[in-house]
A and B are shown apart, each in its own frame.
Chain A
């Protein structure tokens, strides 16, 4: 346990040195990983901790990014307003989708989240006047130089991760774990499972929205690719690789995913093919993910 936190602090510290190298490529890659880590950790509140597979988190991610871009670029509102409005939009979307999907079985949840996120994608593609269609919206402001934006983002991400951590370790988190394990018993313990799942959905969607807003500012462009279901699949796969049952699993998985993608796509066009094989083998043989392997073989004496 001590080794873990030490390694974690060391890694965070190292990544804080990256802007000092003035290597733009590395800086972008590193901040991209940071943002996607928040995305995956937020996603895992609903997946790992509540036992529900969402295939539509791109809706919250891109919903927030688009609201920010539309307000800041098209409507020329100040950036902080766009930032906050983006996150609020993600929260609102998560309430809406949660309300429609959470009273159903798990399978419905996956189908419905996917369907609504693809509806958003369709709207983004068609509603050119507002969203820029396939071209998206360019020129999203950052409000500060990239150097400071890096530290600003990392600070926000760490704060959000800490809040999420406290959430899953709280009494609500315990009840969510109970729901995942035995929903009937939670009901017969006097809790409305719908209510707690909705809490989890809101926390998950809202913090996904924070990641989306940061992403829009980092990229300075918002395109429909972040609304597409393949972007919803990203945290699913990262979490699966890292291990859904541990808080840091999704973070570890994201680092592996993004770096592997960065390297592999240099050599082959068929990244999806490799990804498919990885997913199938993880589901069949390593359901605890990387963290599960660690726990089984390394850390337990």
Chain B
């Protein structure tokens, strides 16, 4: 095993980590603000992929389709929050989980109804590869890494430099005080949900150049998003970034060194964190 192979594999790992990051950041962000864990986050990811597909068919412009798709998903997310989830903020946790789980089933079948059950591919995009460490790296992997970093910067900017971000952080840290000081929780929760859904939709659209869209595609990603957010610390955006990287890298290096147990590696990492640092790397007790 030469160093070039390892370095190359590392880049691939970072690329897939960025997809995990984009989806998980939305999940952990929404949770941090609303304290509701959205099982349907994976379904929003799936919707993002399908809407991007459809908008691409209309516009023949991937970037535009990606953006429009994520916007539609964001609106659907906000609709779900206002119409359904906001009704159950005070209920015991299991009911919140089950409600959003019901949405998963609903959206899976809606996708089957509107787009059919057969997996759908987008016409190939970003064909071509570049020579890295003596190997051919698909150019899209690089775009994915750039997208992940860009989203990290945007999130940082939004949360620390805008009024909305400051209010969101205030209501996250101390909802009661925030409400007393005149913030509008309904608006903040809805926009937080909208933004989280936007990120899920974006993730789905970004997956299209890699593989096809299919009903139930959200299932794999939501489990990864769960693992990432638990490892990083539920509600911690920084944690999601770091743990997505950890998962992406151990997966890609694992494929190199211990291919027979690749599938178990994320779970082993999860178990280790649960035993050694139950609240997650950046989590608070």
Direct chain A–B contact by Cβ atoms under 8 Å: yes
Contacts of A100 in B (CB 8 A): 271, 274-275
Please measure, in the bound complex, the distance between the C-alpha atom of A47 and the C-alpha atom of B95, giving whole angstroms.
11
A28 at interface by CB-CB < 8 Å: no
A residues engaging B (CB < 8 A)? 47, 51-53, 55, 100-101, 103-108, 110-112, 114-116, 118-119, 122-123, 126, 229, 233, 236, 240, 269-273, 275-280, 283-284, 287
Task: Specify which of B31, B37, B87, B278 is in contact with A284 (CB 8 Å cutoff).
Answer: B87
Count contacts between A and B, CB distance < 8 Å.
112
Contact present for A279 and B113 (CB under 8 Å) = no
B128 at interface by CB-CB < 8 Å: no
Minimal Cβ-Cβ distance residue in A for B270: A115
* Dominant secondary structure at the B interface: helix
Given contacts A108-B234, A115-B226, A240-B98, contact A276 B109 (CB under 8 A): yes
Contacts of B102 in A (CB 8 A): 275-280, 283
Contacts of A111 in B (CB 8 A): 37, 226, 229-230
Given contacts A104-B278, A107-B97, A236-B98, contact A51 B112 (CB under 8 A): no
Contact present for A112 and B93 (CB under 8 Å) = no
Please measure, in the bound complex, the distance between the C-alpha atom of A244 and the C-alpha atom of B109, giving whole angstroms.
27
B residues 191-230 in Cβ contact with A at 8 Å: 219, 223, 226-227, 229-230
Contact present for A101 and B274 (CB under 8 Å) = yes
Task: Specify which of B91, B98, B223 is in contact with A53 (CB 8 Å cutoff).
Answer: B98
Nearest CB in chain B: distance from A97 CB, A: 10
Q: Which of A47, A101, A110 has the most CB of B within 10 A?
A: A110
Contact present for B99 and A283 (CB under 8 Å) = yes
Nearest CB in chain B: distance from A263 CB, A: 17
B106 at interface by CB-CB < 8 Å: yes
Minimal Cβ-Cβ distance residue in B for A125: B263
B134 at interface by CB-CB < 8 Å: no
B94 at interface by CB-CB < 8 Å: yes
Contact present for B103 and A280 (CB under 8 Å) = yes
Nearest CB in chain A: distance from B38 CB, A: 11
B88 at interface by CB-CB < 8 Å: yes
Please measure, in the bound complex, the distance between the C-alpha atom of A112 and the C-alpha atom of B94, giving whole angstroms.
14
Contact present for A272 and B108 (CB under 8 Å) = yes
Contacts of A108 in B (CB 8 A): 230, 234
Nearest CB in chain A: distance from B201 CB, A: 19
Contact present for A112 and B230 (CB under 8 Å) = yes
